[in-house]
Structure 1
Amino acid sequence: MTTTRVGAGLRAVVVGLLTLVFLAPFYLMLRNSLMDSRSLASPEWTWWPSSAHWENFTGLFTDPSLHLGRALLNSLLIAGITAPVSTLLASAAGYAFARIPVPGRGVLMALVVATLMIPGSVTFVPTFVVVGSMGGVNTLWGVLAPGLFNPFAVLLFRNFYLRLPAEIEEAGRLDGLGWFGLYRRIALPNSGAMLASLGALAFIDSWNAFLWPLVIGQDPSAWTAQIALSGFLTSQTINLPGLFAGAVVTIAPLVVMFLIAQRYIVEGIASSGLKG
């Protein structure tokens, strides 16, 4: 009994220390966002500013050169469309690869997996040329369109549907359902954890995207939150307190998303069949 209590106490201490380590960046971000530039650059360490500068947060939305309010709405719209659409497309493709017996299915799946091995820098310019030729420059659809296809999610969904017992689809076959009916009425409702986890990851990935939105969204009306934050670091000025305040504001939706979906993320990855 004593050994069990000691082990539980040690685990609690380790978990507490790891929690402090992972929360330290959030503490530093919030602390720095409430300081002024002089205090932030001072060599003397302070655990918390003696006078909190909340105007750093209000200034984010009153500065006409940042367009942060519009950028946040753009990011929310882009991520809010990309996450469900890309997840549903990956789910349908994964089900087709796992269930529909078409000639060359293995080769097609191999090609999808092969796209994971191609560096993004190789396809960046061709993607820009294609999207630009279709009039996607300075448009929100031009920012979100390349992110609608997620080969990694297709692979995860395929593995998940391969592990899904085929017997549960037999009743649907007896009712005359085709492949689409089986997917919509049986397979899709049974993949809620995968949909939630990959949807959350797609939302986070879309929200944090920087290079592609920077290149394709050149007009301030098409800026995302990450592009607006880069306005605090220019060749003329460096506004670190404003940058930290903007980081706190833009990371808040991701924290909420993770808190809501953390259980589904773990469950979805565990049910995908990938190990290690």
Structure 2
Amino acid sequence: MTTTAPQLRKPRGKKRGGVLGNTGLYLATGVAAFLFLVPFYLLVRNALSTDAEITGEHWKFFPTHLQWSNVSDLFDDTSVDFARSMWNSLVVAVSMTVGILLICSLAGYALARIPYKHSNKIFYLVLGTLMVPTAVTFVPSFVLVSSLGWVDTYRGLIIPGLFSGFTCFLFRQYFLGFPKELEEAARVDGLGYWGAYWKVVVPNSLNFFAAIATITFISGWNAFLWPLVIGQDPGAWTVQVALSSYMTNQTVVFHQIFMATAISILPLIFVFLFLQRWLVQGIAQTGIKG
């Protein structure tokens, strides 16, 4: 009986399709990056230009003389206290971030872990708040805040936004997938629900907390309609309200608008760059795809 020796396969070379595919991927990424950076270029370019250069018919890639004096003009403008508005936005965004993380994480943990016969009903009620348009609750919320005397105060700007049904839903879904073995070990050591949450769950969920904190901070910083209604006094304006004041029916101060916008996005860029790794990991842990 004869046996045939196995034939050795020749190593395959790289397919041309793979090289072309990588080239197409790099090209598409480069185009997307270019389109993403164009608004930032226009923002910086116009912020360091004069109004004549911004609105002139002859376009220059960059102004011949950079107008760094636009920074001092912005902060020296007595009609708008831009530094105060930046501080107000920082206080509001940080307070809302801390408050939402604490309240919504506790609510989500309770709905996911504490056995209660009506927990599902409460959860459905929380989901029901997501179906109510903001316009429906806007006027009642303002009437309530006004009756409490919270107009032109941090309390009026912050407290009504300290709970988010969607954030509560995300925390509940995350805690449902959290390993129960860690919490059971904590209970063996004598910890209750609060102890397990604070000493075990939170330290092992920092990626997810950082992701929610980033999204909440950006949302609080960019809020416009509610601060516009509550902050009626210029001293209570947030940065978004202050930006709108540079464009009126009578005048439009272009260089101040662009300079104020460029400065106002610096905290967002810093937060995003600092927390982007945790942001990606945290969103991946929520199960959100696409």
After superposing the two structures, state which structure 1 stretch, 46-55 or 147-156, moved more. 46-55
- Equivalent in 38, 41, 52 of residue 66 of structure 2: 52
CA RMSD in angstroms comes to 1.3
Shift of residue 104 of structure 1?
1.1
Show the counterpart of 1:66. Answer: 80
Matched, 1:130 2:144: yes
Show the counterpart of 1:194. Answer: 208
Show the counterpart of 1:104. Answer: 118
Show the counterpart of 1:42. Answer: 56
What code does the residue aligned with 2:162 have? L
Quick one: distance in 2 between partners of 1:132 and 1:240? Answer: 35
Aligned structure 1 segments of 4 or more residues deviating by more than 6 angstroms:
none
Maintained 8 Å contact 1:98/1:159: yes
- Equivalent in 184, 197, 201 of residue 198 of structure 2: 184
- Equivalent in 162, 165, 169 of residue 155 of structure 1: 169
Show the counterpart of 1:262. Answer: 276
Show the counterpart of 1:142. Answer: 156
Show the counterpart of 2:109. Answer: 95
Show the counterpart of 1:209. Answer: 223
Quick one: distance in 1 between partners of 2:250 and 2:47? Answer: 21
Show the counterpart of 2:242. Answer: 228
After superposing the two structures, state which structure 1 stretch, 118-127 or 2-11, moved more. 2-11
Which of the two has higher C-alpha Rg?
A: 2
Shift of residue 26 of structure 1?
0.5
Matched, 1:82 2:96: yes
Maintained 8 Å contact 1:197/1:261: yes
Maintained 8 Å contact 1:131/1:142: yes
Quick one: distance in 1 between partners of 2:114 and 2:198? Answer: 14
After superposing the two structures, state which structure 1 stretch, 35-44 or 258-267, moved more. 35-44
Q: Deviations over 1:134-172 (max 9, x none)?
A: 111010121111121111111111010101121111111
What code does the residue aligned with 2:156 have? G
Quick one: distance in 2 between partners of 1:105 and 1:224? Answer: 38
Show the counterpart of 2:7. Answer: none
Quick one: distance in 1 between partners of 2:206 and 2:237? Answer: 32
Quick one: distance in 1 between partners of 2:107 and 2:287? Answer: 17
**Aligned residues between the structures:** 276
Maintained 8 Å contact 1:193/1:265: yes
Quick one: distance in 1 between partners of 2:25 and 2:75? Answer: 44
Stretches of structure 2 that go unaligned for 5 or more consecutive residues are: 1-13
Shift of residue 195 of structure 1?
0.7
Show the counterpart of 1:11. Answer: 25
Show the counterpart of 1:120. Answer: 134
Give TM-score, length-normalised by structure 2: 0.91
Please state which structure has a larger fraction of its residues in helix: 1
Give TM-score, length-normalised by structure 1: 0.96
* Percent identity over paired residues: 43
Show the counterpart of 2:4. Answer: none
Show the counterpart of 2:184. Answer: 170
Maintained 8 Å contact 1:163/1:273: no
Quick one: distance in 2 between partners of 1:236 and 1:88? Answer: 45
Shift of residue 29 of structure 1?
0.7
Quick one: distance in 2 between partners of 1:236 and 1:6? Answer: 55
What code does the residue aligned with 2:35 have? V
Stretches of structure 1 that go unaligned for 5 or more consecutive residues are: none
